Amino acid sequence: MAEPKHLQGKSVKFGQGQDTTKGGRPKKIYTILKEMGYSKGDVKDCFGELIWYTHNSLKELLKDDTKPIITHITAKALLESKDSGDISKIKDILEQSIGKAIQHQIIEEKQIVTGITLKQAKSE
């Protein structure tokens, strides 16, 4: 099949057989820690504690090699989120430590009237 005129001489973004997702969606911080063997309680306790630390306190904590790795990972995620302005990691941490906000939904039932009447034929 001939190449369309508007595409002639231009490269295609994805070639045949290339993965367009590049590994899929990045894992959330909670999932990474869970895969390392930490329990849900460990993760929640660490998140609940570190969320109240100041920026400088988190930096100092990262320098302390005697702290558990879960503390370092969580502190690093908090600092990176704050510095980059991307609050998605902080949102994940808050949702794991205090839970998601309750969302209320109201569903209204609507009745559709079509105006079509079906009559059954009488058999003789």
**pLDDT at res. 57:** 93
Residue 21 in any domain: the answer is: no
The domain in which residue 50 lies consists of 26-97
Residue 18 in any domain: the answer is: no
> C-alpha 102: how far from its chain's center?
18
Residue 16 in any domain: the answer is: no
User: 16 vs 63, which has greater pLDDT?
Assistant: 63
Residue 11 in any domain: the answer is: no
Residue 1 in any domain: the answer is: no
Model confidence band, residue 85 (pLDDT cutoffs 50, 70, 90): confident
Task: Please give, one letter per residue, the 3-state secondary structure of the chain.
Answer: CCCCHHHCCCCCCCCCCCCCCCCCCCCCHHHHHHHCCCCHHHHHHHHHHHCCCCHHHHHHHHHCCCCCHHHHHHHHHHHHHHHHCCCHHHHHHHHHHHCCCCCCCCCCCCCCCCCCCCCCCCCC
The answer to whether 96 and 47 have CB atoms below 8 angstroms apart is: yes
Q: In the predicted model, is pLDDT for residue 12 greater than 60?
A: no
Amino acid, single-letter form, for residue 80 = E
Q: How many structural domains does the chain have?
A: 1
Q: Provide, rounded to the nearest whole percent, the portion of the chain with pLDDT above 70.
A: 71
Residue 107 in any domain: the answer is: no
Q: What is the pTM of this model?
A: 0.54
Model confidence band, residue 105 (pLDDT cutoffs 50, 70, 90): confident
User: 71 vs 15, which has greater pLDDT?
Assistant: 71
Give the span between the Cα atoms of 114 and 68, in whole angstroms: 67
Q: Would the CA dihedral through 63, 64, 69, 72 be positive or negative?
A: negative
pLDDT digits (tens, 9 = 90+) for 23-60: 677 777 778 888 888 887 888 888 888 888 999 999 99
**pLDDT at res. 56:** 94
